[in-house]
């Protein structure tokens, strides 16, 4: 960089630094959809309208033999690092990272990401949407090495968890938790917001750097549950699915065969016994199941529309033709709504009781997709969404791991064509680098890099008749295992413990020691319908041995099929700190990781400078909402504690005396009962018992914030309307989760008023 340095600058010479980025280099746009099945986009045979995915397919090629890991975070880890997920510590979702190398939820520094490589090569790197690669104990305020900024992205806007309420998401901008820019009543929806942010960031880049290439990672929260969409998008599908999932599979297969994404001689895999035949379902349930699928279809089309807005922006600037675009789904369609679907999927995630009555679902049919619902479709639609394959998300049968992949790039030789070669999500990072002419670096930031597991698909993109560049791949997801090698595939019949309905109804093994392996010749058996294990024990033994070798190389063991909460004895959460006392002031917004956790007893005291006014109203604290949450609030001079467990509200209220400086609540959690006592000053007011049917929390799947002195978006109880500010003389709260002593009014008042 320097030339000759002399005593004076006048006598010194220098050479310039050279261009900071390559001239005329393509941009990269990577679109990641969540839980979209193989057959749920129009260009793969669906009757769900996806005109923007279809137009990308017409500009590029569709892969018919692309594979993922069967679940979200591991697929994203493979996508961004080019390495197998267990090998980089993301063997499962990072919501409960474990003390085993394949499951820490943290990438080793030797596993540099595509964003890191491209940033160092001069690309502007931006990430928008779902992340879900941060260990649970690092999501409140860092450390940030697994946040987008720590993995090569210069800007980020989105949400860190597996899912979020599309109407009221918990958002992050760069390193800060923020509120959405508008309310649901003002028409806010996350799909639109993500597109707005992506376009705004691209416009800002071009205003300052008109020629710098960019890498935009655009990861929608859709169509993962909750399935939320504006009514006008849902109603366009009214009646579309009345014929049911059996007929829909047949029609979809025919369309897929016409499009060439499924061979013409393929027949549907059999309907498994745990999925009801549509003809055997009564009319009332058919109406429910069809409506909840209409909501899902509207959600998919709404998402596609906003993807189209980003594409339109690039087209209007003339950059779409200069951009490598990849669209993937991270796994097969999701069965997590159970056999009947649910208006509130949080009940499925934390279920500790019997299946909810179907009458509850009928009662909420008119709320599906809207502000009061958190819905997910029945697993019959997930099975259909993966037509023509077996099974669904979290299983290593093709229905879990075979997913859409669309690639559009400058110079595509045969727009609108298909590619049938076998490939895996780890192949996408090396493919992008190959198309950009970048050699994977040996070191990043001084750290020697691990070898890539992926191989470039460049030859396959250039030539539809090219030989497969990948010939083997292992799979493991929640105990389900598979091994692919040269067209042969071995798969276990293992059923995970993730979902009670699956444990009860799906036929298979629940014990690794008794798991059976099935064997398929995938080149002649597209749908894994003919098990050849008995005819070819030699081939099966070869593949099982190969899986065991790959498991050793990639840190797959120990196998884990438990529900997340069952792994607590192995949890790896060094950044999680427990406190028994929390002093909170009006205006505080506390992440669930940093706030009070109720395991047994709790005392909550609230102070007022000068005493409570007659008929006072307002929220003292709120966490969650009417789908799932709890709140302490004043309403017309009464103190109310409301607990809304999965849509069922429990509330205890009592009048308080005007002029009191202190109100309090004592809680005692005993199995599925919550004992509540409300206090006015130091005097007991009333007691009650809530039968809550399980633990208090998690209040939201995206990390519910506790707010003090105000409500956020949707209320826990309809007795107040957000923001419902607390009285101006409210001084704050004390949460004490230690064993509660006898009530000492003076001591409690001092604690509640400590900030005055």
Catalytic annotation, residues: 72, 132
- Token pair 């049938």 in the structure block, residue: 420
Give the residues across from 488 on adjacent strands: 485, 521
Element (H, E) at 300: helix 283-316
Q: What are phi and psi of 608, to 5 degrees?
A: -135, 125
Question: Which tokens is 729 given?
Answer: 């003389």
109 to 132, 308, 438, 520: CA distances (angstroms) = 18, 36, 20, 38
Q: What are phi and psi of 110, to 5 degrees?
A: -80, -5
What would the DSSP string read from start to end of 367-401?
Answer: GTTSTT-B-B--HHHHHHHTTTSS--TTSSSHHHH
Q: Is 650 helix (H, G, I), strand (E, B) or coil?
A: strand
Q: Which strands form 417-419's sheet, in the order they lie side by side?
A: 176-178, 171-173, 155-159, 124-130, 214-219, 27-33, 323-329, 405-408, 61-63, 417-419
Task: Report the chain's C-alpha Rg in angstroms.
Answer: 27
Question: Which tokens is 719 given?
Answer: 């007795």
Give the residues across from 477 on adjacent strands: 480
Element (H, E) at 548: helix 537-554
**DSSP type of residue 223:** T
- Token pair 């093994």 in the structure block, residue: 509
Q: State the Cα–Cα distance between residues 561 and 309, nearest whole angstrom.
A: 40
97 close to 106: Cβ distance less than 8 angstroms: yes
Question: Which tokens is 600 given?
Answer: 């047994």
What would the DSSP string read from start to end of 343-357?
Answer: SBTHHHHT--SSPPP
What would the DSSP string read from start to end of 119-188?
Answer: HHTT-EEEEEEE---S-GGGTTT---TTSGGGGT-SEEEEE-SS---SSS--EEETTEEE--SS-GGGT-
Listed residue (410, 401, 574) closest to 477, CA to CA: 401
What would the DSSP string read from start to end of 131-143?
Answer: ---S-GGGTTT--
Q: What are phi and psi of 24, to 5 degrees?
A: 60, 25
274-280-284-287 Cα dihedral, nearest 10 degrees: 70
Element (H, E) at 196: helix 190-208
490 close to 547: Cβ distance less than 8 angstroms: yes
| Count of CB atoms situated within 10 Å of the CB of 357 | 10
């Amino acid at each position: 960089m320097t030339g000759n340095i002399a005593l004076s600058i006048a006598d010194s010479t220098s050479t310039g630094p050279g261009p900071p980025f390559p001239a005329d280099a393509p941009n990269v746009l990577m679109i990641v959809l969540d839980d979209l099945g193989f057959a749920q986009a129009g260009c793969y045979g669906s009757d769900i309208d996806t005109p923007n995915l279809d137009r990308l397919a017409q500009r590029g090629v569709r892969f018919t033999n692309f594979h993922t890991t069967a679940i979200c975070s591991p697929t994203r880890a493979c996508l961004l690092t080019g390495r197998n997920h267990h090998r980089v510590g993301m063997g499962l979702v990072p919501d409960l990272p474990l003390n085993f190398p394949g499951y820490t939820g943290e990438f080793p520094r030797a596993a540099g990401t595509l964003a890191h490589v491209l940033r160092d090569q001069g690309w502007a790197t931006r990430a928008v949407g779902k992340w879900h690669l941060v260990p649970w104990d690092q999501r409140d305020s860092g450390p940030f090495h697994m946040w987008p900024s720590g993995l090569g992205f210069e800007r980020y806007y989105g949400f860190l968890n597996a899912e979020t309420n599309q109407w009221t998401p918990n958002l992050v901008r760069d390193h800060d938790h923020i509120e959405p820019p508008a309310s649901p009543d003002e028409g806010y929806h996350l799909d639109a917001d993500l597109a707005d942010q992506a376009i705004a960031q691209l416009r800002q880049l071009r205003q300052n750097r008109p020629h710098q290439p960019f890498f935009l990672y655009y990861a929608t929260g859709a169509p993962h549950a909750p399935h939320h969409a504006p009514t006008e998008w849902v109603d366009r599908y009214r009646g579309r699915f009345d014929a049911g999932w059996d007929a829909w599979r047949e029609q979809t297969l025919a369309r897929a065969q016409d499009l060439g994404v499924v061979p013409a001689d393929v027949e549907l895999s059999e309907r498994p016994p745990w999925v009801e035949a549509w003809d055997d379902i009564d009319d009332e349930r058919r109406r429910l199941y069809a409506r909840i699928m209409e909501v899902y279809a509207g959600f998919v089309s709404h998402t596609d529309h906003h993807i189209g807005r980003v594409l339109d922006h690039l087209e209007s600037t003339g950059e779409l033709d200069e951009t490598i675009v990849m669209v993937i789904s991270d796994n097969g369609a999701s069965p997590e709504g159970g056999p009947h679907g649910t208006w509130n999927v949080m009940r499925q995630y934390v279920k500790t009781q019997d299946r909810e009555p179907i009458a509850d679902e009928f009662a909420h049919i008119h709320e599906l997709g809207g502000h009061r619902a958190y819905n997910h479709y029945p697993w019959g639609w997930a099975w259909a969404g993966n037509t023509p394959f077996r099974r669904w998300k979290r299983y290593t049968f093709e229905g879990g791991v075979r997913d859409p992949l669309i690639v559009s790039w400058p110079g595509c030789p045969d727009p609108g064509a298909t590619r049938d070669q076998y490939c895996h999500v780890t192949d996408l990072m090396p493919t992008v680098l190959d198309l950009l002419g970048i050699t994977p670096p040996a070191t990043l930031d001084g750290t020697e890099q691990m070898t890539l597991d992926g191989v470039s698909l460049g030859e396959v993109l250039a030539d539809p008749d090219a030989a497969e560049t990948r010939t083997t791949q292992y799979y493991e997801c929640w105990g389900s295992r598979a091994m692919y090698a040269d067209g042969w595939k071995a798969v276990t019949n293992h059923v995970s413990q993730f979902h009670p309905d699956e444990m009860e109804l799906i036929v298979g093994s629940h014990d690794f020691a008794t798991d059976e392996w099935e064997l398929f010749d995938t080149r002649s058996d597209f749908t894994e319908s003919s098990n050849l294990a008995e005819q070819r024990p030699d081939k099966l033994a070869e593949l099982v041995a190969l899986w065991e070798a790959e498991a050793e190389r990639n840190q797959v063991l120990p196998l884990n099929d438990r529900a997340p909460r069952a792994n607590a004895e192995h949890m790896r959460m060094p950044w999680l700190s427990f406190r028994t006392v929390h002093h909170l002031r009006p205006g505080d917004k506390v992440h669930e990781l940093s706030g009070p956790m109720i395991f047994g007893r709790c005392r909550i005291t609230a102070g007022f400078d000068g005493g409570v006014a007659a008929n006072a109203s307002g929220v003292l604290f709120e966490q969650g909402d009417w789908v799932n949450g709890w709140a302490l609030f004043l309403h017309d001079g009464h103190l109310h504690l409301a607990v809304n467990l999965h849509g069922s509200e429990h509330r205890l209220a009592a009048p308080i005396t005007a002029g009191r400086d202190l109100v309090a609540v004592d809680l005692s959690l005993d199995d599925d009962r919550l004992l509540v006592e409300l206090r006015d000053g130091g005097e007991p007011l009333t007691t009650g018992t809530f039968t809550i049917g399980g633990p208090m929390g998690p209040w939201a799947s995206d990390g519910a914030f506790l707010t003090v002195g105000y409500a956020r978006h949707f209320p826990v109880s309809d007795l107040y309307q957000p923001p419902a500010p607390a009285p101006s003389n409210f001084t704050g709260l004390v949460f004490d989760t230690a064993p509660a002593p006898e009530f000492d009014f003076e001591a409690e008042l001092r604690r509640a008023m400590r900030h005055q």
